């Protein structure tokens, strides 16, 4: 017999154990059936074999809700997805194709941003680009927000740039040292 929840089962099988623990850590679901579904998804993700089957008597809309909730929550935590969003937003600002709703979202992010974010440095650079965009359009009210953000976070930004330079400095030095050593030892020269 074909399961009525095949699509949801396939989706649930794709949840990884670390994702399951993240989903459970900040769960504000108050509906008992929805919470039961979420717990089964997370239990199955944490075990090697599927031990909890989903109740087909529960309203299918609750499964749809949980699927959307999980997807949305994991997308918000996905740093690669966020980096992509930052680049797309920067491109829209530079090409003057950013929509008012997207600008509103960006302004909300600027207002509520945490300087410990994984891509803080890129976000800071995006805000600088956006501030130029606002200045050209004489939108001084929004400029106050971006200016305050840039001023309040400039030390964090400079520190992030410095740390990045320190991390990559050995990689920049290494190739030149290898080349110098090779030339000193006459490696690569053909003796005819």
* Position 114 confidence tier, pLDDT thresholds 50, 70, 90: confident
DSSP 136-173: HTT-HHHHHHHHHHHHHHHHHHHHHHHHHHHHHHHHHH
Burial code (b: 16+ CB inside 10 Å, e: under 16) for 90-105 equals bebbeeeebeeeebee
CA angle 72, 63, 25 (to 5 degrees): 50
- From residue 60, alpha-carbon distances to 56, 151, 157 in Å are 8, 50, 47
Average pLDDT over residues 16-30: 88
| Mean pLDDT in residue range 48-65 | 85
Q: How is residue 55 annotated by DSSP?
A: -
Confidence (pTM): 0.62
- 178 vs 161: which has the higher pLDDT: 161
43 Cβ neighbours under 8 A, 6+ residues apart: 20, 51, 52
Which is more confident, 183 or 72? 72
Domain spans of the chain, in order of start: 6-77, 79-184
Q: Kindly state the tokens that stand for 174.
A: 């290494």
The C-alpha atoms of residue 89 and residue 48 are separated, in whole angstroms, by: 40
The pLDDT confidence band at residue 148, using thresholds 50, 70 and 90, is: very high
What does the pLDDT read at residue 50? 67
Query: Does residue 19 have a pLDDT over 60?
Result: yes
Task: Give the model confidence (pLDDT) of 88-112 as tens digits.
Answer: 999 999 999 999 999 999 999 999 9
Tokens of 134: 């606002």
Identify the band that residue 1 occupies on the pLDDT scale cut at 50, 70 and 90: very low
Look at residue 154 in the predicted model and tell me its pLDDT. Answer: 94
| CA–CA distance, 190 with 192 (Å, rounded to integer) | 6
Going by C-alpha positions, the residue among 73, 77, 59, 60 that lies closest to residue 29 is: 73
């Amino acid at each position: 017999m074909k399961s009525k929840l095949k699509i949801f089962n396939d989706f649930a099988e794709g949840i990884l154990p670390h994702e399951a623990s993240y989903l459970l850590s900040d769960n504000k679901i108050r509906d008992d059936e929805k919470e039961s579904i979420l717990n089964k998804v997370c239990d199955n993700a944490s075990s090697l074999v599927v031990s909890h089957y989903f109740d087909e008597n529960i309203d299918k809309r609750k499964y749809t809700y949980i699927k959307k909730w999980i997807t949305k929550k994991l997308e918000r935590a996905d740093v690669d997805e966020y980096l992509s969003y930052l680049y797309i937003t920067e491109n829209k600002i530079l090409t003057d194709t950013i929509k008012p709703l997207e600008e509103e979202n960006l302004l909300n992010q600027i207002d509520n941003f945490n300087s410990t974010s994984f891509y803080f440095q890129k976000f800071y650079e995006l805000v600088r680009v956006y501030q130029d965009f606002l200045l050209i359009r004489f939108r001084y009210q929004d400029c106050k927000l971006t200016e305050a953000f840039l001023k309040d976070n400039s030390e964090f930004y400079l520190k992030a740039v410095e740390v990045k330079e320190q991390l990559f400095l050995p990689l920049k030095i290494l190739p030149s040292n290898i080349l110098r050593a090779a030339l000193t030892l006459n490696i690569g020269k053909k003796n005819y």
